[in-house]
Amino acid sequence: MMDGLIQISTQMAHAECQRGIDQHGPAASAHEGYALIKEELEEAQDEIVRVEQQLGHLWSSIKGNDVSVYPHYLKQIQQTAILAACEMIQVAAMAEKTLGIAQTNK
């Protein structure tokens, strides 16, 4: 099951890499590639922190037996986790974009 998700994610990262190249051109240097990867990773980490916060709110509502807010927190967790996954696909895309430089400089 995970194999299919990996394959789809790889295709999405490649498509995002191509979109980025079409829009902004290839990475100009390894330094720029590093910065692109770092920026996307920081954005992914921000989303992960949000998921952790939302999970804490969900746990508080579970402990307080406040079932009326479960769907709200679960939907937030779902949406934020998808945003985190998208950011990580962008990390992979920027790594692919930078790989072009690494392969050129062999």
Q: What is the pTM of this model?
A: 0.89
Average pLDDT, stretch 85-104? Answer: 89
Q: Which residues of 70-97 are buried (b: 16+ CB within 10 A; e: fewer)?
A: eeebeebbeebbebbebbbbbbbbbbbb
Task: Identify whether the C-beta of residue 98 lies closer than 8 Å to the C-beta of residue 24.
Answer: no
Please tell me the predicted confidence (pLDDT) of residue 30.
92
Q: What is the pLDDT of residues 41-86, one digit of tens each?
A: 999 999 999 999 999 999 999 999 998 999 999 999 999 999 999 9
Provide CB contacts within 8 A for 29, sequence distance 6+.
Answer: 101
